[in-house]
């Protein structure tokens, strides 16, 4: 059965082909299969220990793919890093470190600036615009650690924006983030998508996945579903993925 192909569809930004990922011998995540197209947002959903972070690291080329294939922007993961932005969880970073928010955002330009050379005017402008895009233009001079959790997460997103990426990978960006920051993050992500970037967000907030993402990849050590949100997050699938730890009431699903 031939799948209909539209000649004008751009190639996927991220393509998983029955991919399995492992640190050593035992695969951490298996059988991931699906595409993320430019302008789309896909949520990686699964309980703790499901392998979401590991999968993200594999997309960055930092964890080996032991089965199948992962193609990033048409290339092998390690080759595509320049155009891929990684946004870690803000609380993994040392709050005492003497860097300002502005300096953190500027770090996203380093690859563009290259070795030896210093940031130029264009770089500083890009960093300022990126901070503005997340609503923190006035915090550029503040030390990173003095900002709230949500603000720090936004600064990290600004860092990614400054990188002008084609694909963004966010690792649990909404954990412990206040409502204002959450809105700011979603707005910024929306603008990035409108600009053609693809977004992958790992989260266990199902409501957010419904709200912000087109598709969902439901995982727990292996893939349970990869498709449009409503189809992938059925109660049955959720119960299977969360091993019975999902509470289902009518349309509202709460995962523990």
Partner 1 sequence: MLYRLLVEPFGFPFMARALTEAMLLGVLGGVVSVAVVLRRFAFVSDALTHTVFPGVVIGFMVAGAGGIVWGALVFAVFSAVLLTVLSSNRRVTEDATLAILLTGFFSVGVVLVSRRSSYTADLTAFLFGRILTVDRREILETAVVTVLVLAVLAVLGKELLLRAFDPDGSAALGYRVGLLDLALNVMVALVVVAAVKAVGTLLVIALLVVPAAAARLLTDRLALLVGASVLVGVLGGWLGLAVSYHASVYYGLRLASGATVVLALVALYAVAFAVGSARRMVSHHAPAAERA
Partner 2 sequence: MNVLAEGYARRALVEVLLVGGLCGVVGVHVVLRRLSFFTMSMTHATFPGIVLAALLGLNLYLGAGLFGVLLVLAVAWLWSRPGANESSVVGVVLSAGFALGVLLLSAQSGFTKDLSAYLVGSVLTVQPADLVVTAGVGAAVLLLLATLRKELVLGAFDRGGLRALGYPAALLDIVLLLAIEATVVSAVPAVGVILSVALIVAPAATARLWTDRLATMTVVAVGVGAVSGVVGLVISQQARVSAGAAIVLVACGCFALSWLGAPRYGMVHRLLLRRRMVFA
* Between 100 and 175, CB nearer to partner 1: 100
CA distances, 224 to each of 74, 180, 247 (Å): 25, 33, 18
Which does residue 4 bind out of partner 2, partner 1, none, counting CB within 5 to 8 angstroms by kind? none
Integer Cα distance of 227 and 70 in angstroms:
17
Binding to partner 2 by residue 121, rule CB under 8 A?
no
* Between 7 and 24, CB nearer to partner 2: 24
Which does residue 25 bind out of partner 2, partner 1, none, counting CB within 5 to 8 angstroms by kind? partner 2
Integer Cα distance of 130 and 157 in angstroms:
8
- For the segment 58-97, give every residue that binds partner 2 (CB under 8 A): 96
Binding to partner 2 by residue 98, rule CB under 8 A?
no
Distance of closest approach, residue 66 Cβ to partner 2, in angstroms: 11
Distance of closest approach, residue 82 Cβ to partner 1, in angstroms: 7
- Residues near partner 1, by CB under 8 A: 60, 62, 78, 81-82, 84, 86, 88, 92-94, 97-100, 103-104, 107, 110-111, 113, 115-116, 118-119, 143, 159
Binding residues (CB under 8 A) for partner 2: these are 24-25, 96
């Amino acid at each position: 059965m031939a799948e209909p192909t539209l000649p004008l569809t751009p190639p996927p930004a991220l393509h998983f082909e029955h991919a399995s990922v492992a640190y050593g011998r035992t695969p951490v995540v298996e059988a991931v299969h699906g595409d993320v197209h430019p302008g789309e947002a896909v949520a990686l959903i699964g309980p703790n220990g499901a392998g979401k972070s590991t999968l993200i690291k594999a997309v960055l080329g930092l964890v080996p793919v032991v089965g199948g294939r992962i193609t990033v922007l048409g290339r092998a993961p390690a080759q595509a890093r320049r155009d891929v932005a990684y946004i870690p969880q803000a609380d993994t970073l040392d709050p005492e470190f003497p860097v300002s928010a502005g300096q953190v955002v500027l770090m996203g330009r380093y690859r563009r600036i290259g070795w030896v050379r210093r940031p130029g005017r264009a770089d500083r402008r890009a960093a300022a615009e990126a901070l503005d895009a997340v609503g923190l233009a006035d915090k550029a001079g503040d030390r990173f650690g003095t900002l709230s959790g949500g603000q720090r997460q936004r600064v990290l997103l600004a860092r990614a924006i400054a990188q002008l990426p084609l694909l963004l990978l966010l690792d649990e960006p909404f954990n412990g983030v206040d409502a204002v920051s959450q809105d700011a993050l979603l707005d910024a992500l929306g603008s990035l998508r409108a600009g053609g970037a693809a977004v992958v967000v790992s989260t266990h907030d199902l409501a957010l996945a419904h709200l912000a993402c087109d598709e969902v990849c439901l995982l727990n050590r292996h893939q349970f579903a990869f498709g449009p949100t409503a189809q992938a997050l059925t109660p049955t699938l959720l119960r299977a993925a969360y091993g019975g730890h999902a509470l289902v009431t009518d349309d509202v699903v709460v995962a523990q």
